[in-house]
């Protein structure tokens, strides 16, 4: 778990693992959702988290002069990701979807908003407390990405509310 005391490379690895955990959760939620629109929403969120992983990998490899492409790919496949970017253990979120199947997109959006909001707050906290200036920049960048997710989910929620009002 990231504490803010990491150097840039360690911060990137930790952020990568949290993004991976979140991507894996969204992927599982997509498969287990009963509603097609909820499946689609979780799939899109999973894809976004994958792009975050690619971005972090790019930064990590750029810093290392692309020396570790093969070893990073091996790490990417084998690394366990027990924590989401929201600071919520993946197993806790998986337990939620075990007990409760999402019946509609509204419920899926509520959970996604919770995760993305907590992720924003987590990266905001780290961007303010990181001792390594470069790590602060990375955390600010990740925070900005979470803002985009939250804005997307808000627009989707408004669109969904309009659909329910028309029905």
**pLDDT digit string, tens, across residues 91-116:** 777 666 665 565 577 777 888 888 88
Rg (CA), the chain: 17
CA distance 9 to 78: 18
Answer for the pair 104, 38: CB distance below 8 angstroms, yes or no.
yes
Biggest alpha carbon distance in the chain?
57
Q: How much is the average pLDDT of 8-29?
A: 85
Of 49, 111, 104, 108, which Cα lies nearest the Cα of 81? 49
Highest mean pLDDT among 6-15, 45-54, 71-80: 45-54
CA distance 71 to 59: 15
pLDDT at 43: 93
Lowest mean pLDDT of 2-11, 41-50, 106-115, 140-149, name the range: 2-11
pTM for the whole structure: 0.75
Instruction: Name the CATH topology of 8-166.
Output: Ferritin (1.20.1260)
Residues with Cβ < 8 Å from 72, sequence gap 6 or more?
A: 57, 60, 61
CA angle 27/151/29 to nearest 5° reads 15
Alpha carbon 50 to its chain's center: 8
């Amino acid at each position: 778990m990231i504490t803010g005391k990491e150097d840039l490379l360690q911060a990137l690895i930790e952020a990568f693992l949290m993004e991976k955990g979140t991507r894996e959760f969204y992927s599982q939620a997509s498969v287990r959702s009963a509603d097609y629109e909820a499946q689609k929403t979780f799939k899109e969120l999973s894809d976004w988290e994958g792009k975050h992983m690619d971005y972090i990998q790019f930064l990590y490899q750029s810093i290392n002069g692309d020396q570790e492409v093969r070893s990073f790919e091996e790490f990417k496949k084998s690394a366990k990701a027990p924590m989401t970017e929201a600071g919520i253990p993946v197993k806790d979120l998986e337990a939620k979807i075990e007990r409760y199947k999402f019946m509609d997109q509204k419920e899926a959006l509520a959970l996604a908003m919770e995760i993305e909001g907590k992720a924003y707050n987590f990266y905001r906290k780290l961007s303010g407390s990181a001792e390594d200036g470069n790590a602060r920049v990375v955390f600010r960048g990740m925070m900005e990405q979470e803002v985009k997710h939250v804005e997307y989910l808000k627009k989707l929620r408004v669109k969904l509310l309009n659909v329910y009002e028309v029905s």
